[in-house]
């Protein structure tokens, strides 16, 4: 006994005290807070923040490449004391469409296919949020991420233009038009991409499918427009064919309403009346992809 006692006392002193289970009586912030948490987690995830180093590489690289031309243009404009920027604000996204497509193709499946593949979705739905909350948070997060990607270079151009002491009124108007355009573009592209990505739990398939839809539709529309331009005079077919690919839709809308010059062959953009149809199609696609996403997750359930 005499030998055991000090040993026992020592053990008592070095023991890690199990303080037992503690209940939680603090606030429970409910559904809206849970939605915001999902939104911020998804938005950070779209740039690889809070994830592995490997998953940061692509989004960060694309962001840098997206902004680099804007920096160069600003540098040239300041150095040469040019009267205007070499590129309109509204043209920038059209010019960089391949990069934007690549980004959204990589991040949309990252956002939704993972949850489907690892069956994490039921865990979300066993919490206070509802199906629509999940869809809204994911949609808003990807659209915000895309907006950051597409608006950042415009901001660089605008700040650069002001530094170069270009005409303030003209630049501000162009910048505002560009912002509206990229906002529409972000909503449209993320809606379509999320819808495609949400149909498959395989990330690879999702990426391939999004790229395919974006590039094939654009290639087809360009081909049709090219032919229509050759048989010139057929400008109606040329304009209307623009309805069938996301990027030409945005091009059409901004040509009609946002003072952009069209990238369609021969610069023949839609008129204001035709532009209304373009705008309605864009809004319809955004609403449609949201609606279909909600339907998709109603079924995914537990």
Partner 1 sequence: MVNLRGTPRDSYAWSLMPRRLCGLTTRGARLTTVEDVTVIATEGLSKRFPKVTALDRLSVDVGPGVTGLVGANGAGKSTLIKILLGLSPATEGRAEVLGLDVARAGGAIRERVGYMPEHDCLPPDVSATEFVVHMARMSGLPPTAARERTADTLRHVGLYEERYRPIGGYSTGMKQRVKLAQALVHDPQLVFLDEPTNGLDPVGRDEMLGLIRRIHTDFGISVLVTSHLLGELERTCDHVVIIDGGKLLRSSSTRDFTQNTTTLAIEVTDSDDHPDGTRAVRDALHARGVTTHDGSGLPGAGHILLLTAEGEQTYDLVRDVVADLGLGLVRMEQRRHHIAEVFKDGDEQRKEAAVHGG
The contact set with partner 1 (CB under 8 A) reads 19-31, 33-34, 37-38, 41, 50-52, 55, 114-115, 118-120, 122-130, 301-302
Nearer to partner 1, 61 or 123 (CB): 123
Min dist. Cβ of residue 149 to partner 1 (A): 23
Min dist. Cβ of residue 233 to partner 1 (A): 57
- The sign of the torsion formed by the CA atoms of 112, 116, 120, 126 equals positive
Quote the Cα angle for 275-193-147, to 5°: 70
Tokens 């043209």, located at residue? 91
State the distance between the two ends of the chain, measured CA to CA, in whole angstroms.
59
CA 194 to CA 196: how far, in whole Å? 5
Min dist. Cβ of residue 118 to partner 1 (A): 5
Nearer to partner 1, 34 or 100 (CB): 34
Min dist. Cβ of residue 190 to partner 1 (A): 21
CA 266 to CA 43: how far, in whole Å? 39
Tokens 């690892």, located at residue? 118
Spatial neighbors of 190 by CB under 8 A, at least 6 apart, are: 104, 108, 139, 142, 143, 145, 146
Nearest to 38 by CA among 164, 124, 120: 124
Torsion on CA atoms 107, 97, 157, 243, rounded to nearest 10: -110
Nearer to partner 1, 30 or 284 (CB): 30
CA 253 to CA 277: how far, in whole Å? 9
Min dist. Cβ of residue 29 to partner 1 (A): 5
Residue 5 phi/psi, 5° resolution?
Answer: -60, -50
Nearer to partner 1, 1 or 21 (CB): 21
Nearer to partner 1, 197 or 260 (CB): 197
Min dist. Cβ of residue 39 to partner 1 (A): 11
Nearer to partner 1, 115 or 251 (CB): 115
Nearer to partner 1, 38 or 281 (CB): 38
Min dist. Cβ of residue 113 to partner 1 (A): 11
């Amino acid at each position: 006994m005499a030998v055991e006692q000090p040993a026992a006392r020592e053990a008592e002193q070095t023991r890690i005290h199990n303080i037992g289970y503690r209940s939680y009586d603090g606030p429970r912030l409910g559904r809206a807070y849970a939605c915001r948490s999902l939104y911020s987690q998804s938005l950070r995830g779209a740039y690889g923040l809070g994830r592995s180093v490997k998953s940061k590489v692509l989004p960060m690289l694309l962001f840098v490449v997206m902004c680099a031309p804007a920096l160069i243009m600003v540098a040239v404009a300041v150095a040469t004391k040019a009267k205007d920027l070499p590129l309109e604000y509204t043209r920038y996204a059209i010019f960089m469409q391949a990069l934007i497509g690549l980004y959204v193709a990589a991040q949309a499946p990252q956002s939704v296919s993972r949850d489907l593949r690892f069956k994490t979705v039921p865990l979300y739905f066993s919490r206070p949020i509802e199906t629509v909350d999940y869809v809204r948070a994911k949609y808003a997060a990807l659209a915000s991420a895309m907006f950051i990607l597409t608006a950042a270079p415009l901001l660089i151009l605008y700040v650069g233009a002001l530094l170069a002491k270009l005409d303030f009124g003209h630049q501000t108007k162009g910048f505002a038009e560009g912002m509206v355009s990229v906002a529409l573009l972000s909503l449209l592209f993320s809606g379509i991409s999320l819808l495609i990505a949400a149909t498959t739990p395989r990330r690879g398939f999702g990426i391939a499918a999004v790229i395919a839809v974006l590039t094939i539709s654009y290639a087809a529309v360009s081909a049709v427009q090219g032919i229509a331009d050759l048989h010139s005079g057929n400008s109606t077919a040329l304009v209307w064919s623009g309805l069938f690919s996301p990027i030409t839709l945005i091009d059409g809308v901004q040509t009609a309403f946002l003072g952009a010059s069209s990238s369609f062959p021969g610069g023949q953009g839609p008129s204001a009346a035709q532009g209304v149809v373009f705008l309605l199609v864009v809004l319809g696609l955004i609403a449609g992809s949201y609606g279909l996403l909600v339907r998709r997750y109603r079924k995914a359930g537990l």
